[in-house]
Copies of this chain bind each other. A is one copy, B any other.
Amino acid sequence: MITNLNNAKAGDLVEVSGMVHNVRVTKWGGFIILRKSRGLLQTVVSNDQCQIYNEQGETVALNDLCREMAVTITGTVGEAKIKDPAAFYKDIEISVSEVRVLSRPSTTEVVDMNALKFGDEETLLRYKFDNRQVTLRNPRDMAILKVASVVSKAFADYLTEQGFTQIYTPKIVSEGAEGGANVFKMDYFGKQVYLAQSPQFYKQIGVGVYERVFEIAPAYRAEKQNTSRHLNEYISLDVEMGFIKGQEDVMHLEAELLRAIISRVATVCEHELNLLGATLPVLPAEVPIWRLSKVHEILFENNLCEQDHRGEDDLAPEEERAICKYALEKFGSDFVFVTHFPSEHRAFYAMDDPEDPTLTLSFDLLMRGLEITSGGQRIHKEEDYRRKMIHRGMNPENFRFYLDTFRNGMPPHGGFAIGLERITACFLGINNVKECSMFPRDINRVAP
């Protein structure tokens, strides 16, 4: 008797537990479609060869089974060709000899996970999020969040192999990292504190300790926009590395990290990618790296945008899409690094370019038309921080412990952050980033 189906072959006796995803009754018996952790498993019941017991050990009919019962099934593995894309087990089915009901729903109106279809996407999403505690059991949503899980694990595994130390930094902080209005305030035993917008300060401190660090943790943005690209609580995949020669080292690490993540998802999540009809992005050996000014020029000279954006100090959305299209067609890359953004548009800790201090040694990484990460080299000298803070009207005294880090010596360093939900959405072609959060938080939603 085996209990793990991964290496099951025809003729094996198995005992397998799962949730009843669906029941189909025929004249001779029927099918119990079992939901397992990765997807569906087809089991076949012949009335004359199968015993079904309820929780009290009484014999019942197939007809008495219903959706979302928890059951244990005993049977024999047979070969099959299952076409349902939600089936994780496509080559096997189970001929059932015994079913034992472990528990049952307390309503006869359980949500039908296969019937989550509404007139428009907005109504569907609202229903799904309002009932997330149950609609997550729908195979498509299971697949999305499984991929997110694999992405974050691959992130941790690759960086650990590369000598990075995983750190856990506080989310209750006394100073906002990026400043600005988008920060949640809270009372902490009579003192006003904030929820961390990012672990920026702490991961830089971590570089002075462990040379190379990463963190996987929630980050908070009190943004009032409620769009398909915003989450007020999201999982930030943060990296910071010391002893870099320049931002190129950071971009190189990020490209190799993404290569490892894409490779892992391709290997582990074949089922989920098929179910979602997703194609992983193409990451060539050399990802194009262009300055912002160069991107404006490429798009103008090739007549790829409606407008002339030369001289502008940021990328327009139509440029993000156009330069990604160009990079894919000309260089076979779904990714583009854009560098040298103007200093006044970047965070104060970005290192200014010594060759042109109005620009920074910082980058965005675009993927399939969207920015999925920001990064760059950071300032590592206390006096450079003080000068830039004062220039920006910030009070260095509000950043005492942060500045003390650099006062006590720091190597040249840089890093980046990736939003887990956003990169998952980009990988899978999901339009709304909220679908990649298990329990999304936005201005109108704080439950379930």
Contact = CB atoms under 8 A, between A and B. Distances in A.
Interface of A: 17-19, 36-37, 67-70, 72, 102-107, 110-111, 131-134, 136-137, 142, 145-146, 148-149, 152-153, 156, 160, 163, 165-175, 184-189, 191, 193, 195, 202, 205-206, 208-212, 216-218, 220, 222, 224, 232-233, 235, 242-243, 380-383, 401-402, 404-412, 420, 437-439, 441, 443, 446-448
Contacts of A220: 172
Given A106-B406, A405-B134, A19 B168 contact: no
A412 B202 contact: no
Question: Copy number of this protein in the oligomer?
Answer: 2
Residue of A167, A195, A412, A448 contacting most chain B CB atoms (<10 Å): A448
A163 B17 CA distance: 14
Contacts of A209: 136-137, 142, 145
A111 B155 CA distance: 34
B446 A191 contact: yes
Given A134-B408, A185-B186, 17 more contacts: A18-B243, A19-B411, A37-B211, A37-B212, A70-B380, A103-B411, A106-B381, A106-B382, A133-B205, A133-B402, A134-B405, A153-B156, A168-B235, A168-B438, A170-B439, A172-B233, A173-B446
A66 to B, nearest CB: 9
Contact of A133 (B165, B382, B401): B401
A322 to B, nearest CB: 33
24 contacts: A17-B243, A18-B211, A19-B208, A36-B211, A68-B408, A70-B380, A70-B409, A102-B412, A104-B409, A133-B404, A137-B209, A137-B408, A149-B166, A152-B168, A153-B160, A167-B438, A168-B218, A168-B235, A171-B218, A172-B446, A174-B446, A174-B447, A184-B186, A184-B188
Nearest to A70: B411
A235 B168 CA distance: 8
Residue of A106, A131, A171, A382 contacting most chain B CB atoms (<10 Å): A106
Contacts of A412: 70, 102-103
Contacts of A134: 208, 404-405, 408
Contacts of A107: 407-408
Contacts of A148: 168
A37 B210 contact: yes
A202 B170 contact: no
A438 B169 contact: yes
A133 B202 CA distance: 8
Nearest to A384: B106
B72 A243 contact: yes
Contacts of A448: 205, 401-402
A441 B382 CA distance: 26
Contacts of A105: 407-409
Nearest to A6: B163
Contacts of A175: 447
Contacts of A152: 166, 168
Nearest to A36: B211
A211 B137 CA distance: 10
A243 B102 contact: yes
Contacts of A437: 168
Contact of A441 (B36, B172, B186, B243): B172
B168 A243 contact: no
